[in-house]
Amino acid sequence: MTSTDPGERVALFRDAYARVIERIAGASARVGRDPANVTLLAVSKSLAPDGLRAAVDAGLTLFGENRVQAGIAKAAEVPGARWQLIGPLQGNKVGKALDVFEAIQTVDSVGLAERIDRLVAEARPRVRYPILLQVNVDDDPAKAGFQPAALEAAMGPLAAFERLEVQGLMTIGRLAADPESARGTFRRLRDLSETLRGRAAAIGPALSMGMTDDFELAVEEGATIIRVGRALFGERRPD
């Protein structure tokens, strides 16, 4: 993103947003889904607060950040935005995360869920706090998340947390040269969700899967939340 003129930036984001919406509609139509059942989470980790304010002006309101501290800093400077956490969460940051994020998509252990449940009582009494369970569908040693086989055993303990609403499952697909190979990952997450729900697990139907390179495949395979960064905001500069 080289443009610094705020008006021009809003126009770029608005166009990119419209194209992503069109592609969601196209993918939905291919499989007979209603595109209204796909939530676009705009992944804003590459944007500073001025870029985020332009994104809000372009009509985006729901943002994903992968670091607690960055989310807190940006939220203070970007009115009108809602935030979800899509990166790893350490136990000692849960309280802070609850102050800013309306949902945590990356719950990867019963211990973390237990801690969120306990702190929600202080931070957000009277609500059931939405979480997704991150699943390492491909058993990738580099990725966080429940192993699929471990998830079923975790369902009992998770159901006992009265202040949590387990809305569904989330996965980060493998970095695949061929996007079609991501399809298998998405299918496995959906199958896992259906299996668990078929056994009356206390878990909702949400499926958070798909990013810039493969969100259309994810929509075709049943994603209800896609997490898109680069297709909206441009390529990230290498760190």
Interaction residues for ligand PLP, span 44-83 (CB under 6 A) = 45, 66
Q: What are phi and psi of 66, to 5 degrees?
A: -100, 0
Q: Can residue 207 be called a binding residue for ligand PLP (CB under 6 A)? A: no
DSSP state letter for 28: H
Residue with tokens 């870029």: 51
Provide the token pair at 202. 């206390």
Instruction: Check binding of 227 to ligand PLP (CB under 6 A).
Output: yes
> What's the closest the beta carbon of residue 98 comes to ligand PLP, in angstroms?
19
C-alpha 221 chain-centroid distance: 16
Complex with ligand PLP: residue 71 or 161, whichever CB lies closer: 71
Which residue of 43, 107, 132, 158 would you call a contact of ligand PLP, by CB under 6 A?
43
Nearest in space to 220 (alpha carbons), one of 82, 22, 30: 30
Q: Which is nearer to ligand PLP, 201 or 217 (CB)?
A: 217
> With respect to ligand PLP, which residue has the nearer C-beta, 166 or 172?
172
- Whichever of 5 and 235 has its CB closer to ligand PLP, that residue is 235
Q: Convert 103-134 to b/e letters by CB count within 10 Å (16 or more is b).
A: bbbbbbbbebbbbbbebbeeeeeeeebbbbbb
Please pick, from the candidates 20, 86, 164, 169, the single residue that binds ligand PLP as defined by CB under 6 A: 86
Site residues, ligand PLP (CB under 6 A):
43, 45, 66, 86-87, 172, 211-212, 227-230
